[in-house]
Amino acid sequence: MIDRLAAQGVLRANDRGGYTVPTDRLYPFQWNWDSAFVAMGFATFDAPRAWAEIESLLRGEWDDGLIPQIVFHAPSDDYFPGPDVWGIERDPRTSGITQPPVLATAARKVLESAPGSGSEARMAAIWPKLRDNHRWWARARDPQGTGLVTTLHPWETGMDNSPAWDAALDRVPTTTRNAIRRRDTGHVDPAFRPRAIDYQRFIHLVECFADAGWDPAGMLAASPLRVADVGTNAILLRAERDLAALATRFGTPAERTEIEGRIARMAPALETLWQDGFYLSRDLISGAAIPVRTSAGFLPLFAGESPHEAALAATLQAWAGMVRWLVPSTDPAHPQFEPLRYWRGPVWAVVNWMIADGLRGNGHDALARRVEGDTLTLIDAHGFSEYFDPTTGQGIGGATFSWTAAIALLLEGTR
């Protein structure tokens, strides 16, 4: 049984006055998709604070509709790269890349969870920003209208150092202008974190985009890493469907038609990522499918009905036979599976929530309950950890993690 007051206490403790940090010191700013999940968690007990989380994130939205990965509301020396490395002069300062677009889904969830407390007016006020962000995705990351958006940095996928990005990252030079002064390994065991060479490539990409002036077309042209991430595309398709539902109340008929047009392109395009019995990301430079099965490959279930739901359920059952706890972030049979290292094997509560939602929406209620049950059991036994070892259940990474507490509240509320 989850201690709801303890979960609420994590969110309150990580509140920095209208925005929530993922956890103290390790991540001292506001992160894009973290805040989407945090808002849904707050909505279970404090609707006004849930809306404040979304509004705070949207204060970082750029004029072109980009919602950045990080909003630097207040200074801190506990994280690298900070705002000076990004070099973006705006108020508030931000990073120049994005993260998986969960926000429209979160806004709809908050509205439906807490229809009172001024929610209608607050949703109406943020509608133009949500609309503009989805237009940004189409314009900046799918300018040819293929139906699949491009990811330019592993941080944009949210699954930073997944084995799925290894081959693409090998093309990225390790040279950087900025001295790399990592802070994460001072807070967390380095064995749990990305390698030093990964950070060199991460920062090289940041500098590449800065040299392009943060212009979307220039970034697409210059980036040595371009992938169609199955997770990002599935999450965006789900968000478009949630945005379309919101448009019936807050948008215009023309806006709803515009959104439905994007959905009509995206849904069949997502199916082109089905390769060899699983949804795989695609390297857009080589044109080849990336032959690494990760938890992101189950997220097309979250996007809506999938013609491959039975095969995905069978794969998940097979993974369950190789680990104690679902859902590992990498196929346990893959040679690069690492149960303790960031995104290379551990269980993440937020991904489990999306997978369980998708399983239930595709008629696999029992398997959805298994995923939800594993998530709650891990949290109950090991606390609100950033992630968990799928073989032992050990809590890993940052402690008292905001989105883990938010997911605990969301899942406990469904019991």
**Active site residue ranges:** 160, 386
Q: Spell out the residues 6+ positions from residue 12 whose beta carbon is closer than 8 angstroms to its own.
A: none
The secondary element (H helix, E strand) that includes residue 319 is helix 309-320
How far apart are the C-alpha atoms of 40 and 407, rounded to whole Å? Answer: 8
Q: Whose CA is closest to 405, among 21, 74, 17, 60? A: 21
Cβ count near 121 (within 10 Å): 9
Nearest CA to 60 out of 28, 100, 97, 90 is that of 90
In sequence order, the 6+-apart residues with CB closer than 8 A to the CB of 91 are none
Q: Are 43 and 114 in contact (CB under 8 A)?
A: yes
* 66 DSSP assignment: -
Among 66, 226, 219, which residue's Cα sits nearest to residue 149?
226
Contacts of 372 (CB under 8 A, 6+ apart): 352, 353, 356, 411, 414
- Report which residue type is found at 37: F
Determine contact, residues 237/210, Cβ cutoff 8 Å.
no
If you write DSSP's letter for every residue of 339-358 in order, what string do you get? TTSTTSS-B-HHHHHHHHHH
The amino acid sitting at 404 is T
* Alpha-helical runs (H) found in 158-252: 166-169, 184-187, 196-211, 216-222, 230-250
116's tokens: 């009172």
Query: Three-state DSSP class for 388?
Result: strand
> CA–CA distance from 182 to each of 1, 23, 187, 402 (Å)?
37, 17, 10, 22
The bridge status of strand 70-72 relative to strand 30-31 is antiparallel
